[in-house]
Amino acid sequence: MIELVIPWIIAFVEWGFLAFFLLLTATTLGLNLVAAVPIVRYLDRHTAVGNRQRESFGGFLPPISILVPAYNEESTIASSVHSLLQLNYPEFEIIVINDGSKDGTVQAAISAFGLQPFGEIHRKTLPTKEVVEVYRSMKFPNLRFIDKKNCGKADALNAGINASNYALFCGIDADSVLQSDSLLRCVQPFLEDAATICSGGTIRIANGCQVEGGFLVSTGLPRNPLALAQVVEYLRAFLFGRLAWSPMNALLVVSGAFGLFHRDTVVQAGGYSTGTIGEDMELVMRLHRQMLSAGREYRIVYIPDPICWTEAPESLKVLGSQRVRWQRGLAESLWRHRWFLFRPGTRFIGWFSYPFLLLFELFEPLIEVGGLVFFVACSFWGSISWSSTALYLLLVVVLGFLQTVNAIFLEEVSFRQFKSIRHVLKLLLAAVVENFGYRQLNTWWRLKGLVLWLSGRKQVWGNMVRKGVPTG
């Protein structure tokens, strides 16, 4: 009897794995196609006429507080802040929050910007670690520097929110390279709809690009194969996936590298959580939950322009540590807010975007590795032919390649950051090559992050070894 049942079980599992990857690919391609509609609308609004309309807001542009958490940024803090000071926006303040750096970050900032201790007393709306000193620049009136005890990025951002003066704040990474009109673009949703509480932009890989005076002047592709694989990965997962969720008001991730928030709404939600690795995603999910629970109309918007460029890891050790953190942060955020899952009244979030992240982001590496082990083991036992195993592997590779090619195509017909045909061909080659090694490594790192979260072990934050993008 058992001998008769086992083949049926194996066949059921075999078709289950194949069905999962077909569903994953169909859903991802569907999101890319859905994203094509808002891309067309966005490009129509941001023609020369659209830009003139944006400029017509003039003095109505709300002031913005730019919060820059910094930890061991001695070598880059001066250039990063100088570039922010040159942003094209009428009124903004920059608040750098030193989170107990162990290097010379404080002294480097004091020397570069003429910082002087300033006995400023500001509200402590959100609890944070002790602030050691507050400095104000004698050269730039809109620049302040907060030196506080170490407690992580979330705590540093909360300290910056406490010190901020304006209704909107923008949290960015200290190593980010922004386009000069980044704030103008990111504030647009707040001007178009008063219900907007958050907007986030696209993050692109700066490796291989040329930077002058703190701004990116020409795009390029990195020579390092790991960084190149991340370029196509960001195109596939970062740009068009999030763009599809935005019109549904079901966007659950706004990157901590660049996001604009309504300050009072974030304070009412309790600020950034210091108890999770993925503080950016966790905050966005908490904002959704707070607004839905209160029955308030709101918008959390994605801006498709490539308005923020960041340096990608170029070593396996640093990249692996980053991906393990990301997966664990994803798991923590989804578990904290499991309230959303198939809950009446949660709209597209509870029925589409949350289940998508749960199945295709959190558990996908477990299913992919499980499928590989299943097919190989059954092939050795003779329960499944080796041709079926080869077909499974080919399916995973081909479907992954189609997702990437579709993303590259949409990029080229819309924003065209890579105008050279040589760059496009290089991206297509990377889309093929990444399936043989890189994606398997990435799956392993994500599986490791999931296991670490399930085991309850603490994740140690690694240091990002930066080479820096070429500057003029």
Higher pLDDT pick, 176 / 326: 326
Residue 315's SS3 state is coil
Using alpha carbons only, what angle is made at residue 254 by residues 407 and 412, rounded to the nearest 5 degrees?
Answer: 20
* Separation CA 50–CA 42 (nearest Å): 10
Q: Which of 71-80, 277-286, 416-425 has the lowest mean pLDDT?
A: 416-425
* Separation CA 77–CA 115 (nearest Å): 13
- Say if CB 287 and CB 249 are below 8 A apart: no
- The torsion angle over the Cα atoms of residues 340, 344, 347 and 352, rounded to 10 degrees, is 60
Instruction: Reply yes or no on whether the pLDDT at 354 is more than 90.
Output: yes
Please give the structure tokens belonging to residue 149: 């005890």
Summary mean pLDDT of the chain: 87
Using alpha carbons only, what angle is made at residue 198 by residues 195 and 204, rounded to the nearest 5 degrees?
Answer: 145
What residue spans define the domains of the chain? Answer: 63-316
Say what the pLDDT of residue 135 is.
Answer: 96
Say what the pLDDT of residue 57 is.
Answer: 56
Higher pLDDT pick, 8 / 322: 322
Confidence of residue 85 (pLDDT cuts 50, 70, 90): very high
Show Cβ contacts of residue 318 under 8 Å, excluding neighbours closer than 6 positions: 462, 463, 464, 465
Q: Thinking of the domain 63-316, which architecture would CATH place it in?
A: Alpha-Beta Complex (3.90)
Say what the pLDDT of residue 69 is.
Answer: 96
Say what the pLDDT of residue 310 is.
Answer: 87
| Strands laid side by side in the 143-148 sheet | 115-117, 131-137, 143-148, 92-99, 64-70, 168-172, 258-262, 196-205, 299-310, 177-178
CA-CA distances (angstroms) from residue 444 to 29, 51, 57? 24, 45, 49
Q: Which of 98-112, 130-144, 250-264, 445-459 has the lowest mean pLDDT?
A: 445-459
DSSP 353: I
Q: Which helix (H) or strand (E) holds 293?
A: helix 279-294
Say what the pLDDT of residue 12 is.
Answer: 84
> How confident is the model over 91-107, as a mean pLDDT?
95
Instruction: Reply yes or no on whether the pLDDT at 271 is more than 70.
Output: yes
- Say if CB 95 and CB 144 are below 8 A apart: yes
Nearest to 181 by CA among 344, 39, 307, 32: 307
Q: By CB neighbour count within 10 A (0-12 exposed, 13-18 middle, 19+ buried), where does 4 fall?
A: exposed
Say what the pLDDT of residue 460 is.
Answer: 46
Confidence of residue 365 (pLDDT cuts 50, 70, 90): very high
* Separation CA 39–CA 414 (nearest Å): 7
pTM: 0.90
Instruction: Reply yes or no on whether the pLDDT at 407 is more than 90.
Output: no
> How confident is the model over 385-389, as a mean pLDDT?
81
Confidence of residue 471 (pLDDT cuts 50, 70, 90): very low
Say what the pLDDT of residue 465 is.
Answer: 55
Say what the pLDDT of residue 105 is.
Answer: 94
* Separation CA 60–CA 432 (nearest Å): 48
Most confident of the following: 236-250, 381-395, 429-443? 429-443
Nearest to 330 by CA among 293, 301, 304, 356: 356
Show Cβ contacts of residue 230 under 8 Å, excluding neighbours closer than 6 positions: 205, 312, 313, 319
Identity of residue 289: R
Say what the pLDDT of residue 456 is.
Answer: 80
* Separation CA 189–CA 181 (nearest Å): 14
Please give the structure tokens belonging to residue 381: 């036992």
- Say if CB 153 and CB 172 are below 8 A apart: no
